Amino acid sequence: MFSNRFFSLQPAVTFDLSKLSGLENLARQTLAQAGRARQDLTPVLRQARLASGKALDLASRAASEAARLVETRVLPLVERKLGRTKPAPTPAILSTLSVDIPASPVRKAGPLMTARLTLHLLCLAVAEKARAVTGMGPAKPKSPWLISKNDDLIYMIGSSAVSYLFMALIFIFKVKPSKVFWIYVLFFDGPHIFGTFSRTYADPEEWQKRRKLFLGSLLLFLPGPVAVRLGLGDYFDIFAYMWAYFHLVKQHYGFSVLYKKKNNDLAKIDNYLDKALIWTGFTLPYINFIFGPNYPTGYMRVSAVLPGWTPKLAGAAFFTTLTAYLARQAYKLATHQNIDAPKQMLLASSITMHMVTFKLPFAKLGGGLSSLAPIVAILTVYHNIQYNRLIWFHNQNKYVKGAKDGKTFGLASTLSGNGKRFALVAFLFGASYRIPLGTIGAGMGVSAKMARYITAFGWGFAFVHYYLDSKIWRVRHDQRLGNALKVNSAPAAH
């Protein structure tokens, strides 16, 4: 196809290889000089970067201070100029008397308060953006998970599947609620109460540090019997179950704080939004439940003491918070910031499960304890699983690994040294008080009044657990606890 003359053509341009070699040496020298110049400039660039970061931080603090001055100095002045703080007229009957009527406190105008809050949140966003731009933002942890990816997905997030299993057993397969409740009590709830005791009363270090707290908390066995003796048993039941739900919500907030600490997700604006989402997200289904038709018969209705517009207020609070929360996550994604995915999955899983649970027709299960017991089991079982796994993780890190380092923790180390031993003792602990309370409290062999006293006394085990948990898991203020839970690996956010 091609003639031989095409392949025999001489090249139009010839190269001098010696000149090419010289150019190569010149290029190498130039690159070497550029590398040395870069090394010389690196400290200067680092100092400039730090200086710019400090300047932006100073600017954000100045903006926050300006917002404070606007709130404390400018807004009151504007309100006075607008005539919003005119004193109320003195009644005629008092005008003739030498009586000084104290001025009523000035209330901030709604639009001005909104402007102040918006400015404050804007200052927080500016400060956070400044740290991200200058590279002074929080360091990323080695792993975003508390224990491990598999453990967290199974025990911390996926444990809600057990709650859905309980729902199916009761409402689809028609298993007696009492059977489901006893499964929950013996295998999940009792061991979870024991978990608290294993790291408090069984830990000599904690005992020495918090002796007064541990002894004083035992007084919580008394309020129940005292309330029954005073004829306030119904009000005590409401108080007990509301404290139980409050404790459950607080525990979810605590788990979210662990993820926030682990992932340096500690910006103030995120702290505000996380707390608001948790409280409004768990309050809305509960409020709808106590006002709705699924509330168990045989118990005093809490809705009787609340205004009729409470459900609408709870709904408005939740959806407003959810909108702000989602907008914040969209902003973080758009600016390539860490959204703390494990925390998001935890909140989505738990809030959704509560929404579903409180929609179920518990009132049709017979009323009384037959309706209330399955609610407690469904709502609490997945929290029990989370708590038991976290306790075991903590105890292994502190009592087992700590013992290998020469530290001694007495009974706590003995219990935590073997998983089967710990599970057996936890089961026996729960069974030792739940079975007597469940049988005698149900009126077997005792009068109805005595059964009421025994049930009220039994709440003491839960009350001690609730109260101690509110004191012993403050990971942001306890360095040793943070070390045991492996959440201190990365520095805290600025």
What is the pLDDT, as a whole number, of residue 219?
97
Whether 403 and 363 map to the same domain: the answer is yes
DSSP 137: S
**pLDDT value, residue 13:** 45
Q: State whether 131 and 277 are in the same domain.
A: no
Number of H helices, E strands in the chain: 22, 0
**pLDDT score recorded for residue 327:** 97
Angstrom distance (rounded) from CA 46 to CA 29? 26
Boundaries of domain holding 54: 29-83+109-137
231: tokens are: 């004829």
Cβ neighbours of residue 311 closer than 8 Å, sequence gap 6 or more: 287, 288, 291
Look at residues 394, 435, 436 and name the one whose alpha carbon lies nearest to residue 416: 394
Same domain? 310 vs 216: yes
Give per-residue burial for 287-326: e unless 16+ CB within 10 Å, then b.
bbbbbeebbbeebeebbeeeeeebbeebeebbeebbeebe
- Predicted pLDDT at 4: 44
Residue at 300: amino acid letter = M
- Same domain for 128 and 157, yes or no, is no
> How far is it, in rounded angstroms, from Cα 244 to Cα 458?
14
Give the pLDDT score at 91. Answer: 41
Distance CA 258, CA 347 (A): 13
Predicted pLDDT at 48: 67
172 and 231 in a single domain? The answer is yes
- Say how many domains are in the chain: 2
Among 434, 299, 438, 463, residue whose Cα is nearest residue 371: 299
Q: At residue 188, what are phi and psi to the nearest 5 degrees?
A: -125, -55
Of 320, 325, 326, 340, which Cα lies nearest the Cα of 275? 325
pTM: 0.72
The stretches in the chain having pLDDT less than 50 are: 1-13, 15, 84-110, 134-136, 490-494
At 22 the pLDDT is: 65
Model pLDDT, residue 29: 75
- Residue 205 and residue 116 in one domain: no
Are residues 156 and 131 part of one domain?
A: no
3-state secondary structure 200-212: CCCCHHHHHHCHH
What DSSP string runs through 95-134? Answer: HTS--PPPPPPPPPPHHHHHHHHHHHHHHHHHHHHHHHHH
Q: Is 70 strand, coil or helix? A: helix
pLDDT single digits (tens) 57-70: 676 676 666 656 66
Together in a domain, 185 and 127: no
What's the pLDDT score for residue 93? 37
Residues 64 and 189 placed together within one structural domain of the fold: no
pLDDT for position 243: 96
Residues 128 and 271 reside in one and the same domain: no
The structure tokens listed for 181 are: 């409740």
Nearest CA to 357 out of 340, 342, 376, 338 is that of 376
For residues 274 and 261, the answer to whether their CB atoms sit within 8 Å is: no
Is residue 97, in this structure, part of any structural domain at all?
Answer: no
Sign of CA dihedral 449, 450, 451, 454: positive
